[in-house]
Structures are given as C-alpha cells and as structure tokens.
Structure 1
Amino acid sequence: MTIEELKYPIGQADIPEKITKKNIEDWISDLERFPQELEFLTRDLSENQLDTPYRESGWTIRQVIHHCYDSHHNSYTRFKWALTENKPVIKAYYEEIWAELNDAKSAPIFLSIDALKALHSKWVYFLRDLTDNDLEKTFIHPSGNEEVSLKENIGIYAWHCQHHYAHIEQLMIRKNWK
C-alpha cells in the first residue's frame, strides 16, 4: 500500500455541493453507530496491539481512539457556537500535540469509547432536531478562514468516523488480527 492509501484508506472527505436530507440522515446514522462499532472492532485487542501504529510514523490504535473523542468533542462544541453566535471563528487545536499527551498515549481506550457513546448519543439527539435554517448556519475555521456550514460538518464527521475506523480495521487485516 502507498503512504497515501495508508493515510486515507477510504479517500479524502467528499462532501457533495448539494447536500440532501438523505445525505444528512445517512451521516447522522453513521455518527450514531460509530462508538459501538469502534468498541466491537477493538474489544479483543491486547495492550501491545493497541500500541501499534496504523502506519509507519502514524498514531497507535490507542491514540486514534483518543483522538476521535477529542476531535468529536471539539466538533460538538463548534455546532453549539454556530447556533448561538453569528459565524463564530472557532478555536482550532493542535491534534498532533494532543495525540502526544499522556492520556492519548497510555489511557485505557474504554475511557474514550464510553465518552464517545455518551457524546454521540447527545450529538445525534441534538442533530436530529436541527431545522433546515439551523443546518445552513456556519462557523469560520481559522486556518484559511474557511466558512463551514453545519450540514457540511455533519458529513465531515461522518467521514471522520469511517476514516479512523478504516485505519484500525485495515491494520488489523494486514496483521491478521481480524
């Protein structure tokens, strides 16, 4: 496999220009299933397996799981900002540095999986109640001052779930752990 295939096993996020209600329903469904699917995928992994990078110079499975919680927690907050402020400039974070912190490198994965279950339950409940007008609201990402609508961000995070799930699953397949 090429480094690009290892980095992006499902390809880059491809959010359609015209986002339909069906897209949004499918993406919310992806968000709803992700924590349980991640738990099921990783439940039998040993500590050594959890500390295996999914690619050379990449994060370990443990770091990927903790990153998912950190990233999704930040995204949930961004949704709240976009709904309560006019085009807020969000606070970015240094995910590469966060992944090097002690909790990301050594904490039990159940901490982030359980947190993802709670967060995604609340997030999905919240998302299912958004109106078409709500979904058009935006925030500004400080890198490049890119304006992101909430409906786009649902798609980005559905992709994010599948992207990191594939990192772990593909490593497990390559190592014959699955």
Structure 2
Amino acid sequence: MTTQPDEHLRYPIGRFAKPSEYTSELFAQSINTIKTLPARLRAEVIKLTDAQLNTTYRPGGWTLKQVVHHLADSHMNALMRIKLALTEEHPSIKPYDEAGWANQIDYSLPVESSLKILEGIHQHMVALYESFDEAQWNRSFLHPERGVVYTIALSAAMYAWHSNHHLAHITETMKQWDK
C-alpha cells in the first residue's frame, strides 16, 4: 500500500482500525477517552491565539477552529445515533455533509461554544455507556450512504479514535510553533 504524502497530516494517529473483539477493557478505554476529551481539548486550544486557531492542520484541510467545531457537530450526531439505536430497532440514521457544516457561519464563533457543547454531549455519552449491558452495546444502526451497520460498541471505539484523531490534528499543528 502506497502512502500519500500527507497521510501523517491527515491521520496523525493512523487510520481507524475496527476492533477484532469487544472486551470490558476496550469499553473502559473508549469511555475514558470520550470522558476526558473535553478537558484535554480545552487544555490545548485555550492557549491558542486567533491566528493559530485559523491555521489549517494540513494544506487544504480545516482550520483548528473548524476542527473543534466539527468535533462538537460530529459527537452531537453520535449521541443522537446512540439514542436512536437504543430506542428503535435497527434505525437508518441521517448522514450529514461534514464539509458543508464546516463552512457555516457558526464555525466562525469562538471555540468556547463548541467546548461547552462537547462537555455536555460527552457527559451524556459516558452516562449511557457506563450503564450498558451486553445487549445495549450490541444494538445497531444503519449508515445508509455507507451501507454499513454499526453497533454501539463499534461506534464507541470509533468516536474514541475520532476524539484522539482530531486532538492530534491540533497538537501536531502546535508543534510547528515550538520550533
């Protein structure tokens, strides 16, 4: 497999790898990652200037500010997908245009607004995850554009990766200012 020149910039922690098995250790790790993201993210972005927040993490990529707002939007959708899977039998979820959302005027707001959203959303996600039994982890939803069935267990692992993936976009970009 040939790597693209900007592969590390696009995927600083590597691409998501679907777990081969779901264990209590994996659930605990995913929950902890999701639980701690808002504080870890805040600690990194709070010290950035507006100019730094408006820096792209790679050529043609989003600004760091857009990344923070995207995390709030994406994880807001994740919470809705979890609740749909818990309350409906194998629902088909509504995909959304991430790039289109990133170009909306609310992405020019200070990052504090999205940090607050993430704090609340992650509290809800963690409360749900920590209450699950095996049947609930196995509840699922269909992503109609991808034609993929996601269990809540898989989505928890994905959103834990997604949390670290975008946090790494920010921290890796910040390293260029330390030089």
Same fold (TM over 0.5): yes
Deviations 1:22-58 (A, max 9, x none): 1011100000000000000111111111011011000
Q: Any unmatched runs of 5+ in structure 2?
A: none
1:7 counterpart letter in structure 2: R
CA distance in 2 between partners of 1:142 and 1:8 (Å): 25
Q: Answer yes or no: is 1:4 the counterpart of 2:7.
A: yes
Equivalent positions of 1:106-145 (< 5 A) are 106-145=108-147
Indicate which of 135, 157, 163 corresponds to 2:165. Answer: 163
Corresponding residue SS for 2:141: strand
* 1:17-166 matched pairs, under 5 angstroms: 17-104=20-107, 106-166=108-168
Aligned alpha-carbon RMSD (Å): 1.2
Identity %: 35
Structure 1 residue matching 2:149: 3-state secondary structure? strand
Q: Which amino acid aligns with 1:167?
A: H
Post-superposition Cα deviations, 1:87-125, rounded to whole Å, max 9, x if no partner, equal 101000000100011111x10000000111111112101
Structure 1 stretches of 4+ with a deviation exceeding 6 A read none
For normalisation by structure 2, the TM-score amounts to 0.95
Residues of 1 paired with 2:9 and 2:32: CA distance?
Answer: 26
Moved more, 78-87 or 12-21: 12-21
Deviation at 1:85, TM superposition (A): 0.7
| Cα distance in 1 for residues equivalent to 2:178 and 2:60 | 20
Q: 1:133 and 1:84 mapped to 2: Cα distance?
A: 13
Provide the rounded CA distance (Å) in 2 between the counterparts of 1:13 and 1:167.
15
Scaled by the length of structure 1, the TM-score of the pair is 0.96
